[in-house]
């Protein structure tokens, strides 16, 4: 009885039930499989988050993004006044999060790889690319860099999924992917 | 000198100080369950797109209060009651340091009240996690700190009682398995509370203007040392309740003390690494760090849970088979008291915790798979599968035994009690499932308006996402009704319940002497004693494996990232 002391004072010598031994063995093998899936995916998988990140002051990051956007701006998104930036294939892409927008709108080419830079100018934000459903935590003061390769084309939404105050639900950005 | 009474149902010697402290902590816990649960209902009704009940500011306020009151206050108050119960009462000992116990109680209550006032004032809607640089009013942090110190003192009373019981030889041999599980919970609690203090103390200084900057990444690493580990207190406490109910209702003895205790030990050794679960898509942490920590070394804490998942129903099966329910694989199960809420709640807690909370937690705690779940409403879906239909349901179930036993009163609504575990368990289980479903479509957590009506650029979720958030609302109403019935039944029983007539002891509540003869000593080792449970465990494993790899398949279809 689990609410009384063990009947046998020397309970650690009692033999273990066969079904328990079998289950522990199976469960441990499964644990190993799950553990090694992660390094395995780093070797063969196409979806791994890079470990590249730098400390950066928010205003320095803002300047970098603005300079980049000015250089590669191709048009404005509808009547929003937000620039659409189309960088050269294989090049750097910048996006910043601030209360309450993802800036700027980015245009990428399908099948090309880009070095994607992401940081926040103020609070923490959650970069959520939809409908792909790729989600990344964005910190102020940290610039994260990862390689992105769009494998489908069309219009993609970027919403914020880390609570960032009263306007959180209006924080939506956009990525266009054009087919080659 | 401590004064004692003898429990007419169980024969336990009950220290009157422990008796009173358990009652006060448990009742306060239930009051916070009511408050926090109501906020939860408001949250679910707002996220139901067709209802969209609250305005944005009130929604974020309600969500902050909901997390705080149920995730922290209800759970910890109830666990402190369990700690006193499993030490003083199960060990037939006096409670050590009762005055410290009362200081702990009042600090927790005052701390919880201060933080609640700060939240309800409207200037501290920073969510339960209170990530900087978003700043709450200073008393928000101060209240949590006072609450935490109180809880730490409660753990001290528990450990001191263990010491007193050992020294005064109130029990023979080793502590009962349930007490061992409670020790696990208390050790994790100390780690948890210290982590919380380490990060919330500087954060409080920051809110007072004494510090200029809190690093956001450092905050998340240490805060989740509290935030996630506190859920491991719940798991250890909840599994102790499972073992206790198996013992109380079936006289079930653990299949093997050694295995069950080792499984608890795995929790102590590895559960604390789980802070990493929240940091898998954060910058500046290496993949090696993420993989080691998120998997609890080699999924050794998951192994612990999988062991308990077999040994708890296994103990019940073995006990039932000894009583003669031997037909086929599952007669032992069909002959269980399914209309007894103590059993029904516990059984549902075991099943739902495993299938809904356990599998989903391991899946999204995988380094790469977290990319497709992080901060979506899949996450609350998962933890409603652990904390709500796992821990809360287990605590409700054992309350149906503890409250009538300690207060010596009859339940006021025994008819409703039969249905309550199903209403709550299935309602909240469905809510968890629908949240997870919506999360796979990318619906964000902590979000007031998934239609983005006020945004300059919108995004349209598929109709299925809206449908699932609506169904989540319906399921949450059902679950809330279940919670309300539980609270009415408990409060009603305590206030107006009829005094129990000492009945001839049901098999459920036999005296220890009778039990020793009922459970024969270990004679059938080496043979397969629990085939039914083993088959159920294999069904669980197959579901687990399939679900795990389905998500890898899903991950492999999204954009390339490296």
- Answer whether residue B58 shows pLDDT above 90: yes
| pLDDT single digits (tens) B406-417 | 999 999 999 999
Q: What confidence score (pLDDT) does residue B176 get?
A: 96
Pure H helices in B208-286: 216-227, 229-250, 257-270
Output the DSSP codes for B136-158: --HHHHHHHHHHHHHHHHHHHHH
- Answer whether residue B527 shows pLDDT above 70: no
Q: What confidence score (pLDDT) does residue B474 get?
A: 98
- Answer whether residue B30 shows pLDDT above 60: yes
- Which of 75-94 (B) contact A at CB < 8 A? 90
- Answer whether residue B518 shows pLDDT above 50: no
Pure H helices in B122-137: none
Nearest by CB to A6, from B173, B362, B526: name it.
Answer: B173
Mean pLDDT for B186-212 is 95
| Per-residue pLDDT band at B326 (split at 50, 70, 90) | very high
Cross-chain Cβ contact B561/A131 below 8 Å: no
Cross-chain Cβ contact A144/B283 below 8 Å: yes
Query: A28: exposed, middle or buried (C-beta count within 10 Å: 0-12, 13-18, 19+)?
Result: middle
| pLDDT single digits (tens) B380-399 | 999 999 999 999 999 999 99
Q: Where are the domains of chain B?
A: 363-453+461-500
Q: What confidence score (pLDDT) does residue B528 get?
A: 55
Nearest by CB to A7, from B259, B521, B527: name it.
Answer: B521
Distance (Å) from the alpha carbon of A71 to chain B's nearest alpha carbon = 23
Q: What confidence score (pLDDT) does residue B545 get?
A: 98
Cross-chain Cβ contact B561/A143 below 8 Å: no
Q: What confidence score (pLDDT) does residue B522 get?
A: 44
Which residues of chain A have a pLDDT value below 50? none
Residue in chain B nearest A157 by alpha carbon: B459
Q: Which residues in chain A are closer than 8 Å to B176, comparing Cβ atoms?
A: 1-6
- Answer whether residue B293 shows pLDDT above 80: yes
Mean pLDDT of chain B, nearest integer: 93
Both tokens assigned to B273: 């690494």
| Per-residue pLDDT band at B504 (split at 50, 70, 90) | low
pTM: 0.94
Query: B550: exposed, middle or buried (C-beta count within 10 Å: 0-12, 13-18, 19+)?
Result: exposed
B271 touches chain A (CB under 8 A): no
Q: B506 Cβ partners below 8 Å, 6+ apart?
A: none
Mean pLDDT for B267-284 is 90
> For A127-131, B286-290, B518-522, which range has the lowest pLDDT when averaged over its residues?
B518-522
- Answer whether residue B18 shows pLDDT above 60: yes
Residue in chain A nearest B253 by alpha carbon: A1
Q: Which residue in B252, B462, B561 has the most chain A C-beta atoms within 10 A of its own C-beta, making it the best mutation to test that interface?
A: B561
Question: Do the bridges between strand A172-178 and strand A154-160 make them parallel or antiparallel, or are there none, so unpaired?
Answer: antiparallel
- The complex's ipTM works out to 0.96
| pLDDT single digits (tens) B340-390 | 999 999 999 999 999 999 999 999 999 999 999 999 999 999 999 999 999
B233 touches chain A (CB under 8 A): no
Q: What confidence score (pLDDT) does residue B39 get?
A: 98
Cross-chain Cβ contact B375/A131 below 8 Å: no
Both tokens assigned to A26: 């199976």
Q: Which residues in chain B are closer than 8 Å to A134, comparing Cβ atoms?
A: 371-372, 558-559, 561
| Per-residue pLDDT band at B526 (split at 50, 70, 90) | very low
Query: B461: exposed, middle or buried (C-beta count within 10 Å: 0-12, 13-18, 19+)?
Result: buried
Q: What confidence score (pLDDT) does residue B273 get?
A: 85
Q: What confidence score (pLDDT) does residue A2 get?
A: 87
- Answer whether residue B508 shows pLDDT above 90: no
Closest CA to A167 of B107, B526, B454: B454
- Which of 97-126 (B) contact A at CB < 8 A? none
Nearest by CB to B528, from A6, A19, A126: name it.
Answer: A19
Mean pLDDT for B106-124 is 97
Q: Which residue in B283, B449, B454 has the most chain A C-beta atoms within 10 A of its own C-beta, making it the best mutation to test that interface?
A: B283
């Amino acid at each position: 009885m689990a609410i009384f002391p063990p009947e046998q004072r020397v309970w650690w010598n009692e033999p273990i039930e066969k079904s328990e031994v079998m289950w522990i063995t199976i469960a441990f093998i499964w644990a190993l499989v799950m553990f090694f899936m992660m390094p395995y995916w780093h070797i063969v998988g196409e979806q791994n988050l890079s470990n590249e990140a730098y400390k950066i002051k928010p205003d320095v990051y803002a300047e970098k993004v603005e300079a980049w956007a000015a250089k590669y701006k191709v048009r404005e998104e509808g009547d929003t006044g937000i620039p659409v930036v189309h960088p050269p294939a294989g090049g750097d892409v910048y996006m910043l999060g601030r209360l309450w927008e993802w800036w700027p709108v980015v245009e990428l080419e399908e099948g090309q790889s880009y070095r994607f830079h992401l940081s926040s100018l103020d609070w923490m934000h959650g970069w959520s690319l939809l409908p792909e459903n790729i989600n990344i935590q964005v910190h102020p003061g940290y610039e994260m860099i990862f390689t992105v390769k769009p494998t489908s084309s069309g219009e993609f939404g970027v919403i914020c999924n880390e609570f960032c105050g009263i306007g959180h639900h209006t924080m939506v950005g956009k990525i266009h992917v054009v087919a080659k | 000198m401590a004064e004692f009474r003898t429990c007419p149902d169980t024969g336990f010697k009950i220290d009157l100080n422990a008796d009173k402290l358990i009652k006060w902590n448990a009742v306060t816990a239930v009051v916070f369950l009511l408050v926090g649960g109501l906020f939860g209902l408001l949250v679910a009704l707002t996220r139901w797109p067709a209802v969209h009940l609250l305005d944005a500011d009130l929604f974020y306020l309600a969500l902050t209060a909901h997390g705080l009151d149920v995730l922290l206050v209800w759970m910890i108050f109830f666990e402190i009651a369990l700690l006193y119960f499993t030490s003083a009462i199960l060990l037939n000992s006096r409670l050590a340091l009762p005055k410290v116990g009362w200081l702990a109680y009042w600090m927790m209550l005052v701390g919880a009240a201060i933080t609640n006032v700060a939240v309800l004032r409207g200037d501290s809607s920073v969510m339960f996690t209170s990530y900087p640089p978003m700043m709450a009013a200073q008393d928000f942090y101060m209240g949590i700190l006072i609450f935490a110190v109180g809880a730490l003192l409660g753990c001290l009373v528990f450990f001191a009682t263990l010491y007193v019981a050992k020294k005064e030889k109130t029990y023979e041999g080793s502590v009962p398995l349930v007490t061992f599980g409670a020790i696990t919970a208390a050790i994790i609690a100390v780690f948890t509370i210290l982590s919380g203090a380490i990060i919330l103390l500087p954060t409080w200084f920051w809110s007072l203007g004494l510090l200029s900057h809190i690093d956001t990444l450092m905050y998340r690493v240490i805060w989740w040392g509290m935030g996630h580990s506190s859920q491991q207190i719940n798991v250890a406490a909840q599994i102790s309740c499972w073992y206790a109910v198996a013992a109380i209702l079936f006289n079930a003895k653990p299949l093997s003390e050694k295995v069950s205790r080792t499984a608890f030990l795995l929790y102590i050794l590895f559960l604390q690494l789980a802070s990493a679960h929240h940091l898998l898509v954060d910058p500046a942490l290496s993949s090696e760090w993420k993989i080691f920590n998120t998997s609890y070394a080699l999924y050794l804490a998951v192994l612990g849970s999988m062991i308990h998942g077999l040994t708890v129903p296994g103990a019940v099966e073995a006990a039932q088979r000894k009583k003669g329910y031997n037909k086929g694989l599952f007669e032992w199960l069909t002959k269980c008291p399914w209309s007894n809420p103590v059993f029904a709640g516990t059984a549902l807690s075991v099943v739902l915790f495993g299938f809904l909370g356990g599998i989903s937690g391991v899946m999204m705690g995988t380094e790469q798979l977290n990319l497709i779940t992080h901060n979506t409403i899949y996450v609350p879906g998962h933890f409603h599968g652990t904390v709500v239909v796992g821990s809360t349901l287990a605590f409700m179930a054992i309350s149906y035994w503890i409250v009538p036993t300690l207060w010596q009163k009859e339940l006021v609504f025994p008819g409703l009690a039969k249905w309550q575990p199903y209403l709550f368990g299935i309602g909240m289980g469905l809510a968890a499932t629908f949240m997870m479903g919506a999360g796979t479509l990318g619906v964000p957590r902590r979000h007031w308006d998934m239609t983005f009506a006020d945004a300059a650029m919108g995004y349209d979720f598929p109709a299925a996402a809206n449908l699932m958030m609506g169904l989540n609302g319906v399921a949450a109403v059902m679950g809330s009704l279940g919670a309300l019935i539980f609270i009415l039944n408990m409060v009603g029983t305590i206030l107006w319940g009829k005094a129990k007539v000492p009945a001839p002891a049901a098999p459920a509540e036999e005296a220890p002497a009778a039990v020793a003869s009922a459970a024969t000593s270990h004679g059938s080792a080496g043979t397969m004693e629990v085939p039914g449970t083993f088959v159920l465990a294999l069904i669980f494993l197959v579901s687990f494996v399939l679900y795990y790899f389905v998500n890898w398949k899903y991950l492999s279809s999204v954009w390339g990232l490296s």
